[in-house]
Amino acid sequence: MQKSTKIIATIGPASDSKEIISKMFEHGMNVARLNCSHGSHAYFSKVIDTIRDVSEDICILLDTKGPEVRVGRVMDPVHLEHGMHIELTNRDIIASRDSFSIRYPHLNEIGIGSMIRIDDGLISLEVIGRQGKNLVAKVIDGGELIANKSCAIQGHNVRLPFLSAEDRKDIRFGVKKDVSIIAASFVRSQEDVAELRRLVRDQMIISKIEHWKALEHIHGIIEASDGAMVARGDLGAQLSLERVPKIQQEIIRECNVQAKPVIVATQMLESMKDNPRPTRAEVSDVAQAILQGADAVMLSAETGIGKYPVQAVHMMAKIAREYDHLVEGNMPSQHLRHTNVAQFVTEAAFHSTRHLHVKAILTPTETGFTARNVARYRPRVPIYAITRSMRVSRQLALTWGVHPICIPKKYTDLHGMIAELISETHKRKLVDREDTVVVTAGHRLRKKGSTNLLEIHKVKDILK
């Protein structure tokens, strides 16, 4: 049984072998994520080559570091206890129980009363005073301090450039290695997206929504991007935790309306880092993301450094298959903004699957635009997106319900193309002779957004 929700798996030390990548792909991984915060270009280059050895079809996502504030050097374990006071500096020192370093040049601009949350909020500090250029903080939520962990500062607009020199190097590396997607960390405005757009070629840009400023510009950010990621770790560290589920739902809905793929990430099956089975709460979390309309759900540490990477992908796929069918028609028409003929045609394609006994929707596409517009309605049948571009085929691996087929051939005759596409899906045993299929197409072949035609065919009528 095919699943519709897509799975992103982070590749790391636990999963970077050909054997493990192959098994994760077999069990339902659609997108392989490379996290620039953990790895060198030499390492990622080797991993990309391994992924391509497994399958040319796997979509690769490169996740940038972004303007991050991180803990400095920690040699021996430092346990921060509730109530203790500690000095914070941006000097390069080794952490002790008296002080530690935070890599942020404007540390002394953080206001008294501000909360600093470390490692997605596992450790919380309240700034209570100043000591020269340093800060004095009180430990609110204690824990073990670990080097290089992220720091989120509530209520403080971090004064760092959106793209660091290191980010630019990483992006150039990703473009050179022909990754399919760049996930941009800490996007705060559509201007940030435009800045990144100038550095990429045909890569999709996924804006990670993890900064409180991004919520003020969410419509424009999604409009300027090719999709979005709900990065709940940093969101939960910057905002009160109880707000995150509501924000997640709002971001998913806006992406659905704009026909842009949306990813839900962070700690989805976190316990599977160490255990072969997730908790019931984690299963509910994944199911809820699917029911809200997420295109993809993401595994981070579970597959990057966890003990059970293959089992984590397998469990995620099982949850998806259980809930995918419950989101049919998840996008009521009144929420949509129809701006062109193609969008009306794709809605008609969806409605035909509700009233006729249709086996599949076939969607020839140059850019993925038509397939994504069909997918936002969450039809009950698979969408086979036929494209001559391997790049587009890989990128469509991120969109709910879309099963890309790459046929590197130029068509000049519309009806000949439709007949050949139906024959191809039959040859691949995706449809049977007695099945009915819906086809969307455009009279102006190879032109983006030109879809203006919908046909319904019996497969046997085309094959004879």
Same-domain status, 211 and 299: yes
- One domain, residues 89 and 225: no
| pLDDT at residue 198 tops 80 | yes
Summarised one tens digit per residue, pLDDT across range 88-127 is: 999 999 999 999 999 999 999 999 999 999 988 889 999 9
Q: Which residue has the higher pLDDT, 365 or 294?
A: 294
Report yes or no on 412 lying in a domain: yes
Same domain, 263 and 280: yes
One domain, residues 320 and 383: no
- Averaged pLDDT of the chain: 93
CA distances (Å), origin 156, targets 23, 112, 152, 190 = 43, 11, 9, 20
> Annotated catalytic residue: which of 5, 89, 266, 425?
266
Helix axes 244-257, 280-292, angle to 10 degrees: 30
Task: Indicate which residue of 52, 70, 177, 197 is catalytic.
Answer: 70
With bands split at pLDDT 50, 70 and 90, how would you rate the model's confidence at 76? confident
Domain holding 368: CATH number? 3.40.1380.20
Q: Which of 65, 208, 273, 372 is catalytic?
A: 208
Please report the pLDDT score of residue 120 as a whole number. Answer: 81
Residues 146 and 260 in one domain: no
* 200 and 239 co-located in one domain: yes
Q: What are residue 86's DSSP bridge partners?
A: 137
- pLDDT category at 444 given cuts 50, 70, 90 is low
Catalytic residue (one of 6, 23, 33, 273)? 33
Instruction: Report the candidate in 217, 230, 69 with the shortest Cα–Cα distance to residue 157.
Output: 69
- Binned at pLDDT 50, 70 and 90, residue 441 comes out as confident
The SS3 call for residue 357 is: coil
pLDDT at 139: 97
Q: What is the count of structural domains for the chain?
A: 3
Within-domain flag for 441: yes
Residue at a domain's end among 275, 302, 325: 325
Produce one character per residue of 98-125: b if its CB has 16 or more CB atoms within 10 Å, e if not. Answer: ebbbbebeebeebeeebbbbbbbbebbb
Higher pLDDT among residues 212 and 64, named by residue: 64
Residue 385 domain flag:
yes
Do residues 180 and 258 share a domain? yes
**pLDDT (mean) for 413-422:** 85
Residues 346 and 442 in one domain: yes
Looking at the structure, do residues 280 and 410 belong to the same domain, yes or no? no
Mention every residue, 6+ apart, whose C-beta is less than 8 A from residue 304: 10, 11, 12, 13, 14, 15, 35, 38
What pLDDT shows up at residue 7? 99
Looking at the structure, tell me whether residues 142 and 214 fall in a common domain: no
CATH of the domain at 293: 3.20.20.60
Least confident of 93-102, 154-163, 374-383, 396-405: 154-163
The answer to whether position 94 is within a domain reads yes
What average pLDDT does range 202-230 have in this prediction?
Answer: 95
pLDDT at position 332 is: 57
Assess whether 172 carries a catalytic annotation: no
Based on the residue annotation, tell me whether 208 is a catalytic residue of this protein: yes
Q: What 3-state class would DSSP assign to 272? A: helix
How would residue 86 be classed by pLDDT, with cut points 50, 70 and 90? Answer: very high
Structure tokens at 328: 């049919």
- Are 269 and 194 found together in one domain? yes
Residue 1 forms part of a structural domain: no
Beta carbons within 8 Å of 368's beta carbon, 6+ residues apart:
385, 387, 392, 395, 396, 399
Could you tell me if 384 and 432 lie in one domain? yes
Residue 8 has pLDDT above 90, yes or no: yes
CATH number of the domain residue 113 falls in: 2.40.33.10
For residue 70, the tally of other CB atoms under 10 A from its CB is 16
Residue 410 has pLDDT above 90, yes or no: no
The boundaries of the domain holding residue 278 are: 6-65+162-325
Contacts 24+ apart (CB under 8 A), 201-208: 201/175, 202/391, 203/174, 203/175, 203/179, 204/180, 204/395, 204/398, 205/181, 206/61, 206/181, 206/182, 206/261, 206/263, 208/63, 208/66, 208/183, 208/184
How many residues appear in the chain?
464
pLDDT at 337 over 70: no
Domain edge (last residue) among 116, 134, 153: 153
Domain boundary among 325, 358, 392: 325
Percentage of the chain lying above the pLDDT 70 cut: 96
DSSP 62: E
User: In this structure, is residue 242 part of a structural domain?
Assistant: yes
Of the candidate ranges 14-23, 247-256, 265-274, 410-419, the one whose mean pLDDT is the lowest: 410-419
Structural domain contains residue 172: yes
For residues 409-415, average pLDDT: 78
Which tens digits make up the pLDDT trace of 22-49? 999 999 999 999 999 889 999 999 999 9
Q: Does the structure show a pLDDT above 90 at 140? A: yes
In a domain, 253, yes or no: yes
Helix, strand, coil share of the chain (percent; to 5): 40, 25, 40
Cβ 235 vs Cβ 257: under 8 Å: no
CB 149 within 8 A of CB 186: no
Q: pLDDT of 338-380, one tens digit each?
A: 667 888 888 899 999 988 999 999 998 889 999 999 999 999 9
